[in-house]
Amino acid sequence: MKIRAVASNTFKEAIRDRVLYLLLFFAVISLISSRILALLTVGDKIKIIMDVGLASISLFGVLMAILMGTGLVYKEIDKKTIYTLLSKPINRLQFLLGKFFGLMATLFIMLVFMSLIFIIIFLLYSGQITWKFFVSLGFVFLELCLITSVALLFSCFSTPILSSIFSLSFYVIGHLSWGLETLIKKMKPGITKFLTQAVYALLPDLENFNFKSEVVHNLAIPPKIFLFSFLYGIIYTFFILVLAMLVFRRRDFI
């Protein structure tokens, strides 16, 4: 009940955030522009609309998660409301989980809204949506859960600006880590390869949540990949949340 109360309050605050509506506005503009872009580009127009649409939903969802998530804890500390909250019968774990679930509820609604806008645009053009599109959206949401947990972690000990930079770096590195895998395959056995493999194992691999190519080109997706990506997202998000809780517990607000 305490987690639900914090989550409900976080949701109400997030819905009133002007940054949310600004990003949502640009997201809708981007989705509408996907059809215009398709008309100006040589190639399969349906694939172009789907490609640009999914990329826009994912990108603006991540920006919402980062820009709003990095201020979740910092705002409470800056406004001194953290003292009032923690003086009540609520522990720090419940406070953090409430913040996390509150923002995830907000992002879920925004994701649904952007998806509905895109579906309307897409149906008016082609008339059909495959099940893979909805699967891709599910993994976009799973990626947003992970990014939100990262933003929450940085929010526990840093300012919103630095937290945003760190979170965005996490996102960029997560989508470029496949380059290390390619490098490892070309390296000779030895200490350098071992260290590179260790770094690769620690870095996030957000490409596990990217099924855009499979949706756009209607490629087959083995069920094992679905299961692996789902478990990867859940476990990694849980790990980051545990780190956030450990950091937050060590913060001294006296």
- For 157-167, the pLDDT digits (tens) are 888 899 999 99
pLDDT for position 165:
92
What totals of helices (H) and strands (E) does the chain contain, helices first? 12, 0
pLDDT for position 34:
75
CA dihedral 106→110→116→122, nearest 10 degrees, is: -150
Query: Residue 195: is its pLDDT beyond 60?
Result: yes
Cα–Cα distance measured from residue 121 to residue 46, given in angstroms and rounded to the nearest whole number = 11
In a domain, 174, yes or no: yes
Q: Supply the range of the domain harboring residue 53.
A: 2-249
pLDDT for position 39:
65
Which of 98, 132, 70 has its CA nearest to residue 10?
A: 98
Cα–Cα distance measured from residue 40 to residue 37, given in angstroms and rounded to the nearest whole number = 5
In a domain, 16, yes or no: yes
pLDDT for position 186:
75
In this prediction, residues 203-208 reach a mean pLDDT of 84
pLDDT for position 143:
94
In a domain, 254, yes or no: no
In a domain, 49, yes or no: yes
Of 43-57, 190-204, 205-219, the least confident: 190-204
Query: Residue 98: is its pLDDT beyond 80?
Result: yes
User: In the chain, pLDDT over 90 holds for what percent of residues?
Assistant: 22
Cα–Cα distance measured from residue 100 to residue 105, given in angstroms and rounded to the nearest whole number = 9
Query: Residue 86: is its pLDDT beyond 80?
Result: no
Cα–Cα distance measured from residue 215 to residue 22, given in angstroms and rounded to the nearest whole number = 28
User: In the chain, pLDDT over 70 holds for what percent of residues?
Assistant: 93
In a domain, 157, yes or no: yes
Q: How confident is the model at residue 40 (pLDDT cuts 50, 70, 90)?
A: low
Cα–Cα distance measured from residue 58 to residue 55, given in angstroms and rounded to the nearest whole number = 5
In a domain, 188, yes or no: yes
Residue partners of 2: CB distance under 8 A and separation at least 6: 89, 90, 94, 98
Residue partners of 136: CB distance under 8 A and separation at least 6: 54, 211, 212, 214, 215
pLDDT for position 125:
74
In a domain, 162, yes or no: yes
Q: How confident is the model at residue 8 (pLDDT cuts 50, 70, 90)?
A: confident
Residue partners of 15: CB distance under 8 A and separation at least 6: 106
Query: Residue 90: is its pLDDT beyond 80?
Result: no
Cα–Cα distance measured from residue 67 to residue 27, given in angstroms and rounded to the nearest whole number = 15
pLDDT for position 152:
92
Please count the structural domains in the chain: 1
In this prediction, residues 154-177 reach a mean pLDDT of 88
pLDDT for position 6:
82
Query: Residue 126: is its pLDDT beyond 80?
Result: no
pLDDT for position 238:
94
3-state helix, strand, coil in the chain (%, to 5): 80, 0, 20
Q: How confident is the model at residue 127 (pLDDT cuts 50, 70, 90)?
A: low
In a domain, 17, yes or no: yes
